[in-house]
């Protein structure tokens, strides 16, 4: 690596782009952007969600952000830790900005952020590996800020925005700086004390840790419920149904919201 770590990272603002994650990914392919480089856009023509879904966002209404991270304190198999860290980061910002609703802020495993059981933010984390190391992470997030009309989300989750919740508009630029600042602060904290974010993430899992329901991805009739009593940095969750405990993986199971 050259002098990639020197100097401040860039914040790149784009009025119109296909996808901020894709933009950062192609920047990485052809140059050496500094860790912390952030891309934000007013509008994405092909915003990407998880599992090949699209992420729609009205122009200028919401926060669309991708940040380049180099989480060298994590091994490749601990990559899920970043989902926890980013989820807790967004929840912290929401708790500050929507203090009257902080009890209703939660996480749907692995990383949908909900307020009042409706989806307010989605995360798309894309990693590049070198052996057992995470070389680069593109941490993408779409936070619904001032949009008030939405297409229904596939999968039954209803969308919501900060403006719908609070009954007022928010400055997306302020939120941009707050999310980036909180993310860097949390990354520094995580280097010293990883457990803090795992514990906080566990407490944010929807349902106050009880009565969560899960569905097998391979066999939709196969369901289980219980509370999540532990979570690993590789993303496996330990479910306690009152009788037995079972480790499940996000590749095989999804969490249901009712
Ligand atoms: C999901 O919930 O499925 C994840 C949605 C992630 C959307 C954000 S918006 C900014 C960044 N660029 C993208 O193309 N996707 C992420």
User: pLDDT tens digits for 40-49?
Assistant: 999 999 999 9
> What gap in Å lies between CA 60 and CA 24, rounded to an integer?
20
State the distance from the centre of ligand 1 to the C-alpha of 141, rounded, in angstroms: 5
Q: Are 49 and 122 in contact (CB under 8 A)?
A: yes
At 3 the pLDDT is 45
Considering only the C-alpha atoms of the chain, give the largest distance between any 2 of them, rounded to a whole number of Å.
Answer: 55
Q: Are 42 and 60 in contact (CB under 8 A)?
A: yes
State the distance from the centre of ligand 1 to the C-alpha of 21, rounded, in angstroms: 8
- Whether the bond between 110 and the residue before it is cis, its omega within 30 degrees of 0, is yes
At 46 the pLDDT is 98
Q: Which letter does DSSP use for residue 33 in this model?
A: P
* Predicted TM-score of the model (pTM): 0.92
Take atom 9 of ligand 1 and give the residue whose Cα is closest: 142
Q: How many other C-beta atoms are found inside a 10 Å radius of the C-beta of residue 129?
A: 13
- What are φ and ψ of residue 12, in 5° steps? -105, 120
State the distance from the centre of ligand 1 to the C-alpha of 111, rounded, in angstroms: 11
Ligand 1, pocket-test mutation among 26, 49, 144, most atoms within 8 A of CB: 49
Ligand 1, pocket-test mutation among 37, 38, 48, 50, most atoms within 8 A of CB: 48
At 6 the pLDDT is 54
First CA to last CA distance, the chain: 48
Is 87 in a helix, a strand, or coil? helix
> What tokens does 79 get?
């990559």
217-253 in b/e form (b: 16+ CB < 10 A) is eeeeeeeeebbbeebebebbbebeeeeeeeebebeeb
State the distance from the centre of ligand 1 to the C-alpha of 189, rounded, in angstroms: 25
Mean pLDDT per block of 10 residues along the chain (258 residues) reads 58 97 97 96 96 93 97 94 97 98 92 92 96 96 97 76 98 97 96 94 74 87 89 90 90 81
At 1 the pLDDT is 42
Residues with CB under 6 A from ligand 1: 19-21, 44, 47-50, 53, 55, 64-66, 112, 122-124, 140-142
Q: Which atom of ligand 1 is nearest to the CA of 112?
A: 2
Say how far residue 174 (Cα) sits from the centre of its chain.
Answer: 19
At 8 the pLDDT is 66
At 254 the pLDDT is 85
> What tokens does 158 get?
């209803």
> What gap in Å lies between CA 202 and CA 107, rounded to an integer?
9
Ligand 1, pocket-test mutation among 24, 47, 60, 153, most atoms within 8 A of CB: 47
> What DSSP element (H or E) covers 107?
strand 105-108
Q: Which atom of ligand 1 is nearest to the CA of 65?
A: 10
- Give the chain's count of helices (H) and strands (E): 5, 12
């Amino acid at each position: 690596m050259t002098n990639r770590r020197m100097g401040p990272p860039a914040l790149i603002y784009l009025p119109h782009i296909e996808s901020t994650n894709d933009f950062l990914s192609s920047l990485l392919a052809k140059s050496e952007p500094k860790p912390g480089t952030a891309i934000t856009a007013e509008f994405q023509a092909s915003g990407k969600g998880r599992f090949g879904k699209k992420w729609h966002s009205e122009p200028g209404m919401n926060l669309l952000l991708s940040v380049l991270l180099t989480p060298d304190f994590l091994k490749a198999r601990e990559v899920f830790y970043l989902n926890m860290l980013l989820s807790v980061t967004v929840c912290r910002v929401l708790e500050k900005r929507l203090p009257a609703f902080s009890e209703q802020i939660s996480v749907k495993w692995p990383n949908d952020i909900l307020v009042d059981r409706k989806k307010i933010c989605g995360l798309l984390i894309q990693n590049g590996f070198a052996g057992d190391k995470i070389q680069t992470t593109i941490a993408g997030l779409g936070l619904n800020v001032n949009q008030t009309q939405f297409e229904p989300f596939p999968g039954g989750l209803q969308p919501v925005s900060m403006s719908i919740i609070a009954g007022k508009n928010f400055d997306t630029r302020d939120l941009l700086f707050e999310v980036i600042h909180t993310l860097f602060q949390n990354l520094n904290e995580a280097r010293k004390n990883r457990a803090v974010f795992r514990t906080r993430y566990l407490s944010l899992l929807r349902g106050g840790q009880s009565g969560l329901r899960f569905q097998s991805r391979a066999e939709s009739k196969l369901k289980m419920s219980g509370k999540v009593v532990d979570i690993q940095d590789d993303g496996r969750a330990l479910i306690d149904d009152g009788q037995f405990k079972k480790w499940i993986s996000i590749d095989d199971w999804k969490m249901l919201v009712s």
